[in-house]
Each structure stands twice: as C-alpha cells, then as structure tokens.
Amino acid sequence: MVAFYGTEVTSRLMLGTAQYPSPAVLEQAFRRSGAGIATVSVRREAGAERAGAAFWDLVAQLGVRVLPNTAGCHSVREAVTTAQMARELFETKWIKLEVIGHADTLQPDPFGLVEAARILTDEGFEVFPYTTEDLVLAERLLEVGCKVLMPWGAPIGTGLGLTNIYGLRTLRAQFPDVPMVVDAGLGLPSQAARAMEMGFDAVLLNTAVARAGDPVGMAEGFARAVEAGRLAYEADPMEPRDMAAPSTPLIGKAFLE
C-alpha cells in the first residue's frame, strides 16, 4: 500500500495507456499487472465531441485510479491549460505535469516545470511533476507545493533503465519522507526491481510493456519485480563488502590430522 496526496493505492506499479497493439491487450495487461494507477493523455479526448469516449470507457472499466498527464506540452501555458481540461474531463485534482524542454531527450524544462507547478498547486491541483534527479529542482518543486516527485530513470521510451544511480540514491536520501515514483526509461523488470530496492515508492512505465512482444506477460513481469524489489527494501538488505566472508561457521568443523 502506498499513498499519494492522502489517497492509498494498493499497487506500486503505474502503467501508461498508449501504444498498445489493441484495446483488448491494454485491458489484459492492466488486469494481469494489478496496476493501481493508469496515466492518460488528455489528447486522447476531443473536447465536446468526445471522440475518445470508447477509450475512456475502457479505462473506467479497469477500476484503477486515473492520473491524467500533460504529455507533449512544451510551455507553461500549454501545460496549465491541458491540466485544466483534464480536471474537467476526468473530474480529478491529480495531474502528472510534463513541461518538455528538449526535443531529443524529452528532458523537462526545469524553469517552466516549477512555474507550472506553482500555478497549478495554487489552483488546487495535486501535482505529480515529471522531473530529473536534480536536487535543486526537487527542492523548488516541493517549495511551490508538490508533495510527490517523479524523477526519470532515463529519457522517455529509451528502455535504458536507471542511468544515474548516484543521482537517484542522493535524491531519495535527501528527501526520505517525500513519495517518489521513478518515471520513464525503464525497459526491464530487473530495472524496476532495482528502483524499488533503492527505496522508491513506485514506478511508472509505458513503452516497455506496450511495445513488448507479449505486453501481457511483460506487465506481469514488472508487477512481480516491483513487489520483489519492495520486499527486499523492507527486509533491510546486507551492505556490499569487498572481502569474502564464509556463510558456514568454522566452529565445530572437523579437522583431520
């Protein structure tokens, strides 16, 4: 169980809803994974025409919490407007805030992200900012009212995993009481398990499941990895050491003369 803005969610796995080969596969992947939160882009809906109504009905039937996002927004104004549309459309204060600053890496614009987060929190939104592992940026986001951080593991859609272990560990240690979700760049269940072993509260991914040869099987693989990683973290794992140490005690060992 993990809580975001006072709302408890049973699963620490969040899944995106884009790029699946079919709606049926999307539904099966969610059900097999047990994911508790689905991210949805507002661009799937077409305003008053409700062109995306069938898709929204499918997501609603999954019985999961919806986290709308501002995917593809490159300015503060665009992100804020999209968030306002999402609140009206999905009837939720939650918003995954993306303000993209670099076209190739899809790295967040730190200045725009903080400004948009400030505006949205002032309007009563509960903001989930997609950010980097930068400590100063994290501090600024918390100062303007964010109570969750979503640092990337790697650029969106790359599958590179956790490219800056030191930065992520430092971020986690610096803000131990802030819920954190590793968001983007994960390609394998083992990478999700490692994020959980480091003490992160959840992971969010999309492409690694949706574009796998077997999305349903991959979704289950990530679910098991997230659970295993969290169990390992809570079990207080041993510290690595340079020297070997026998696991079998020498006391009582027979010595031959």
Tens of pLDDT, residues 224-257: 999 999 999 999 998 888 888 888 776 666 666 6
Spatial neighbors of 139 by CB under 8 A, at least 6 apart, are none
Residue with tokens 């800056």: 164
Mean pLDDT of the chain: 92
pLDDT of residue 44: 47
pLDDT > 70? residue 215: yes
pLDDT > 70? residue 80: yes
pLDDT > 50? residue 199: yes
Asked if the structure places residue 255 within a domain, the reply is: no
Asked if the structure places residue 229 within a domain, the reply is: yes
Summarize the confidence of residues 39-68 as an average pLDDT: 75
Asked if the structure places residue 129 within a domain, the reply is: yes
pLDDT of residue 130: 97
Of 106, 98, 171, 185, which is closest to residue 133 (Cα–Cα)? 171
Task: Please give the residue that has the higher pLDDT: either 243 or 199.
Answer: 199
Asked if the structure places residue 240 within a domain, the reply is: no
CA distances from 148 to 54, 79, 175 (A): 31, 18, 10
Asked if the structure places residue 38 within a domain, the reply is: yes
- φ/ψ of 44, rounded to 5, equals -75, -15
Summarize the confidence of residues 29-37 as an average pLDDT: 95
Of 156, 157, 226, which is closest to residue 198 (Cα–Cα)? 226
Question: What are 41's strand-pairing partners?
Answer: 69
91-109: pLDDT as tens digits: 999 999 999 999 899 999 9
Task: Please give the residue that has the higher pLDDT: either 156 or 46.
Answer: 156
116-158: pLDDT as tens digits: 999 999 999 999 999 999 999 999 999 999 999 999 999 999 9
Q: Are 148 and 172 in contact (CB under 8 A)?
A: no
pLDDT > 50? residue 48: no
CATH number for the domain spanning 46: value is: 3.20.20.70
pLDDT of residue 52: 62
Asked if the structure places residue 60 within a domain, the reply is: yes
Would residue 96 show up in a list of annotated catalytic residues for this protein? yes
Query: Which residues sit in the known binding site for 1-deoxy-D-xylulose 5-phosphate?
Result: 157, 184-185, 206-207
In this structure, the chain runs to a length of 257
Asked if the structure places residue 256 within a domain, the reply is: no
Asked if the structure places residue 195 within a domain, the reply is: yes
pLDDT of residue 257: 63
Candidates 93, 96, 147, 253; catalytic one: 96
47 pLDDT band, cuts 50/70/90, is very low
pLDDT > 90? residue 60: no
- Domains contained in the chain, number: 1
The whole domain housing 197 covers 2-235
